[in-house]
Amino acid sequence: MVKKFFECETIDPGNPSSDRITVKFPFSLIERWKHKEITQFYNVATAKKVLDEPKRIFYGTRALSEGWWCYVGKPDIWYIRESVTSTFPSNKVFAVLLDADFEVYGFRSEPAAEDDPLAPNGWRERYGRLIWKSLD
């Protein structure tokens, strides 16, 4: 079966100052959320905002799988249930999770780290490397 995707662009972690790269949202995953976890479906918009303007990019997010990525940002709003929006909490970050082929497989909020409010809690132990950080 041919996989279908929605696409958007984000910073290329290999060359942040050059053209952006394409990341993919699997169609079947979005369909799943649309019919089951509807809050997650609405937060596709939040994930898109984070990919538009990430604050941190981490590499090596899995213990037993090579090459996976985490893009982290600080959106203004997010969906807390179905179509209900709320101000995004100041003490949290929003993490978008991607596999080695830059296909998004999930996203969620996480507590922000004390030593870096734009990174998830425990980032030093959890990830292989911080690849890129925004200037702000």
Partner 1 sequence: MEELRLEDLLKQINNKEVKRTEPYKPELWYNSFGDCIEFQTKDEAIVADRIDPFLTIYRSADDSTAIGFQLKDVKALMKKHDCNISLIGAQVLNKELMSVAHILIKAYEQKPLTIRKQEGYQEALENLFGKAAMPHGVE
Summarize as ranges the residues that interact with partner 1 (CB under 8 A): 4-8, 25-30, 32, 34, 36-45, 48, 62-65, 78-83, 86, 89, 92, 95, 97, 99, 103-106, 108-111, 120-122, 126
Residue 13 buriedness (CB in 10 A; 0-12 / 13-18 / 19+): middle
CA angle 22, 66, 32 (to 5 degrees): 55
* Cβ at position 103, least distance to partner 1 in Å: 6
- Our CB check for partner 1 shows the closer of 40 and 73 to be 40
Q: For residue 30, what are its two tokens?
A: 């979005």
Torsion over CA: 79, 81, 68, 113 (sign):
positive
* Cβ at position 134, least distance to partner 1 in Å: 21
Residue 22 burial (CB count, 10 A): 11
- Our CB check for partner 1 shows the closer of 107 and 131 to be 107
* Cβ at position 25, least distance to partner 1 in Å: 7
